[in-house]
Amino acid sequence: MKNSPLTAAMWGLLRRDLLLAWRRRSELLTTLFFFVIVAGLFPLGIGPEPATLRTIAPGVVWIAALLSCLLSLHRLFAVDYQDGALEQMLLAPQPLSLLVMSKVCAHWIAAGFPLVLLSPLLGLQFGLTGSTLWVLVCSLLLGTPVLSALGSIGAALTLGIRGSGLLVALLTLPLFVPVLIFGAGAVVSSDAGLGAEAHLSLLGACLVLATVFAPWATAAALRIALE
Amino acid sequence: MLDVRDLSCSRGDRTLFQALSFTLPPGTLLSVTGENGSGKTTLLRALCGLSPVDRGSISWQGRRIADAQQGYREQLAYLGHRNALKDDLSPIENLQAMACIFGQNLDPGSAESALHAVGLGRSCHILATRLLSEGQKRRVALARFWSCERPLWILDEPFTALDANSSRLLRNRLERHLTNRGIVVVATHEEIGIGAGTVQQLRLPG
């Protein structure tokens, strides 16, 4: 299995993208700082009332995660497009959608997963405790890969267009809405003492759908962008 | 064998080329010349299946490339006018990454010998690619053709930025490929001066 061309291509591309992300880690740190700062400013602006903070916590952390994910999305294919590597990916014998899946995976590991790791700290800052904190982490763990996958469609559609950063946001934010509702909803209902299972399983369903369909749509958009 | 029949392509209102037909049997080099903007790159990208064409057909071994898809892409190696190199990776890492995309594992030793073959010294192998000169970058991009077994090569101005010595190395490599019954399509501005195989000329009208 290790030597099959498809695994070599997918695994190799994932490793290459992670290596590139590591060599340019300042960019990723920027998005991470953005996440912390946006979520950190709310308590300062709204005031230290614990009940209020607990109420807004799920929405604020989720919106901050969503925005910081958007910050790094428009670069997902732009660099490969400019230096010609994307052209070579289109010519590779391996299915483009699977190569896209590798790139999305790398984007999530580099830009999404650190947010999940930081989220308990931010949750504590808003006074979330115990199981609610866990639900926050779980909802982000299920939700951020969906953001990367859906975002890749927007990044591919706006390839080579001027001002693509803003356009990616306009295109993908509506797609992110269900993820935001289910993700923040899971934390809210857990905090209210209701089970979070329903919301989390809906998020899981989003993740499955996005993993199956998004790379395929992204691949189609990339072929059009490179014509 | 690459067979092109009645190929036409336009961009916007402008017709780039019309009713283009040629057949390239094994051991043939097609040199595509023409002024800047005459459609050389478009033709080469169309031959790769990247750009759409208005009319006509491109067939490889008797099958249209639009139908063959993956089977055709396994036979093809393409170098665009951009080098597809990552500035932050070293030349060795770049060659390995490129091999990965095509589903091969390239060990550092083979990558090094490929770089040696294009005349890049050991001191360049571990530098970040952004520190190399344009000519050196072009050589790194060409290095993957040294171990390339694919029969059809499509090269977009491969001699750009190369010095006399590396141009000679590339010529030798192309001649070796033609002797091995490979097919090469080159867009170029200069006389290539290949001494092996058969050379066909195609001049695109401006």
d(CA B65, CA B25): 16
The β-bridge relationship of strands B14-24 and B2-11 is antiparallel
Cβ pair A8:B100 closer than 8 A = yes
pLDDT reading at B37 higher than 90? no
Query: The complex's ipTM?
Result: 0.89
Which pLDDT does position A101 carry in this prediction?
A: 95
| pLDDT over 50 at A208, yes or no | yes
pLDDT at residue B149, as a whole number: 83
Say whether both B12 and B70 belong to one domain: yes
Q: What is the mean pLDDT of residues A69-80?
A: 89
- A89 Cα to chain B: minimum distance (Å): 6
Q: What is the pLDDT of residue A128?
A: 87
Burial class for A224, CB neighbours closer than 10 Å (0-12, 13-18, 19+)? exposed
Mean of pLDDT over chain A: 91
Beta-carbon separation of B100 and A91 below 8 A = no
User: Given an 8 Å threshold on Cβ–Cβ distance, is B101 in contact with A227?
Assistant: no
For residue A166, the model assigns a pLDDT of 85
- Above pLDDT 90, what percent of chain A? 65
What mean pLDDT is predicted for residues A103-115? 94
Pair (B171, B192) in one structural domain: yes
Let me know whether B186 and B174 are in one domain.
yes
Number of other CB atoms surrounding residue A93 within 10 Å: 18
Query: What's the structural domain count of chain B?
Result: 2
Q: Which residue, of B148, B167, B197, is where some domain finishes?
A: B148
Does B25 lie in the same domain as B66? yes
Asked if B156 is an interface residue toward chain A (Cβ–Cβ < 8 A), one would say: no
B90-129 pLDDT, tens per residue?
999 999 999 888 888 888 888 999 999 888 888 888 889 9
Residues B167 and B98 in one domain: no
B120 and B189, same domain (yes or no): no
- Judge if B4 and B64 occupy the same domain: yes
Q: Do A83 and B101 touch (CB under 8 A)?
A: no
Judged on CB neighbours under 10 Å (0-12, 13-18, 19+), A36 is: middle
Contact partners, residue A123, CB within 8 Å, separation at least 6: A57, A61, A132, A133, A136, A137
> A100 to chain B: which residues are within 8 Å by CB?
none
pLDDT of residue A62 exceeding 60, the answer is yes
**Final residue of a domain: which of B148, B163, B193?**
B148
Question: Looking at the structure, do residues B28 and B63 belong to the same domain, yes or no?
Answer: yes
**Cα–Cα distance, A79 to B82 (Å, whole number):** 12
Predicted TM-score (pTM) of the model is 0.90
Contact list, A227 vs chain B (CB under 8 Å): 50-52
Tell me, yes or no, whether B13 and B69 share the same domain: yes
Domain boundary among B109, B124, B148: B148
- Whether residue B205 lies inside any domain: the answer is yes
B70–A contact, CB cutoff 8 A:
yes
- Over 90: is that where the pLDDT of A20 sits? yes
Residue B3 included in any domain: yes
Q: Is residue B97 part of a domain?
A: yes
pLDDT tens-place string over residues B180-202: 999 999 998 888 888 788 888 88
Are residues A34 and A63 in contact, defined by beta-carbon separation less than 8 angstroms? Answer: no
pLDDT score, position B126: 82
Q: Per the domain annotation, does B64 fall within a domain?
A: yes
What are the tokens at B118? Answer: 């294009």
Query: Do B53 and B104 reside in the same domain of the chain?
Result: no
User: What pLDDT was estimated at residue A1?
Assistant: 45
Residue range of the domain that includes B92: 85-148
For residue range A137-164, what is the model confidence (pLDDT) as tens digits? 999 999 999 999 999 999 999 998 887 7
Q: Do A12 and B101 touch (CB under 8 A)?
A: yes
- pLDDT on residue A75: 86
pLDDT of A70 > 80? The answer is: yes
Percent of chain A residues past pLDDT 70, beyond the cut: 99
Mutation target among B72, B86, B89 for the A interface, most CBs of A within 10 A:
B86
Structure token digits, residue A99: 């190569």
Please tell me the predicted confidence (pLDDT) of residue A130: 84
Instruction: Assess B97–A contact: CB distance below 8 Å, yes or no.
Output: yes
Residue B80 domain flag:
no
pLDDT at A77 > cutoff 80: yes
> What are the C-alpha distances in Å from B107 to residues B79, B93, B112?
22, 10, 9
Is the pLDDT at A200 greater than 70? The verdict is yes
Between CA B185 and CA B88 the distance in angstroms is: 30
The verdict on residue B42 lying in a domain is yes
CATH number at residue B184: 3.40.50.300
- Give backbone dihedrals phi and psi of B156, rounded to 5 degrees, phi first: -95, 105
Tell me whether B123 touches chain A (CB under 8 Å). Answer: no
Handedness of CA B106, B70, A214, A85 (dihedral sign): positive
Type and span of the H or E element at B201: strand B198-203
pLDDT at A2: 53
**Which residue in the set A6, A83, A99 is minimally distant from B86, CB to CB?**
A83
**Distance of alpha carbon A204 from alpha carbon A142, whole angstroms:** 6
Q: Is the pLDDT of residue B136 over 60?
A: yes
Same domain, B96 and B133: yes
What is the model's pLDDT at position B91?
A: 93
Residue bearing tokens 């903070």: A53
Structure tokens at B168: 């000679």
Contact list, A99 vs chain B (CB under 8 Å)? 101
Q: Is the pLDDT of residue A134 over 60?
A: yes
DSSP B176-197: HHHHTT-EEEEE-SS-----SS
Domain co-membership, B192 together with B129: no
Task: Give pLDDT, residue B11.
Answer: 84
pLDDT, average across residues B138-166? 90
pLDDT band at A196 (very low <50, low <70, confident <90, very high): confident
Distance (Å) of CA B134 to CA B79, B120, B141, B164, B189 = 15, 13, 11, 14, 18
Confidence of residue A3 (pLDDT cuts 50, 70, 90): low
Nearest-neighbour CA in chain A from B85: distance (Å): 7
